[in-house]
């Protein structure tokens, strides 16, 4: 009986150590975006999102690139823009340096892209981020940390103002993974 207890105890310790090993369950997976980016290109603008991994093994944010081809300002309305998951709006997009109070009150400042200019920004769904505590905010530290974009169709419904008109642009890619069940 004493031998069985020892073996059981060693197995239990092994399971605990394996569970606490720190290896992320997605680290052996290969994350794929199809297509690699989504783009709308016309005579007024070119809008593109490309999912990015950063330092993660999985996709965690988008690189948005917007080029104004028109002769008037193109304005990004972050308060009206939405994260899309499987074609359904899932909340606002955020980015580094954004004020949490402005997001909470739907008062995020607009970004203006002048005629002939381009604008790029790393954006992420607010529902998937973690805010750093105020005591940890320093010039060198991130104030938000992006989470994992889930398997499925991920994108943005980009809200723009052009002259007196409003434009909404749906952009999305399908994210999948290979290598894990």
Cα(67)–Cα(70) distance, integer angstroms = 9
Interval 2-18: pLDDT, tens? 666 555 555 455 444 44
Q: Closest Cα to residue 143, out of 100, 84, 85, 86?
A: 100
Domains and CATH numbers, the chain: 26-178 (2.60.40)
Query: What is the tens place of the pLDDT at every residue in 57-101?
Result: 999 999 999 999 999 999 999 999 999 999 999 999 999 888 888
> Which tokens sit at 101?
């109070």
Smallest CA-to-CA distance from 64 within 75, 56, 52 is with 52
Both tokens assigned to 109: 């400042």
CA distance 50 to 66: 12
């Amino acid at each position: 009986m004493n031998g069985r207890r020892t073996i059981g105890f060693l197995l239990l310790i092994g399971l605990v150590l394996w569970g606490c090993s720190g290896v992320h369950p997605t680290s052996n997976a290969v994350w794929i975006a199809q297509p690699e980016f989504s783009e709308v290109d016309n005579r007024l603008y070119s809008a593109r999102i490309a999912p990015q991994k950063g330092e993660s093994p999985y996709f965690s944010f988008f690189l948005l690139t917007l080029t104004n081809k028109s002769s008037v300002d193109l304005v990004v309305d972050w308060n009206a823009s939405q994260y899309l998951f499987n074609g359904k709006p899932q909340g606002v997009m955020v980015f580094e340096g954004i004020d949490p109070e402005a997001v909470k009150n739907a008062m995020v400042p607009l970004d203006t892209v002048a005629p002939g200019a381009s604008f790029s920004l790393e954006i992420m769904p607010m529902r998937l981020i973690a805010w750093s505590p105020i005591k940890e905010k320093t010039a060198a530290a991130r104030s938000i940390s992006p989470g994992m974009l889930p398997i499925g169709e991920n994108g943005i419904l980009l809200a723009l103002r052009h002259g007196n008109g409003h434009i909404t642009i749906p952009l999305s890619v399908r994210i999948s993974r290979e290598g894990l069940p």
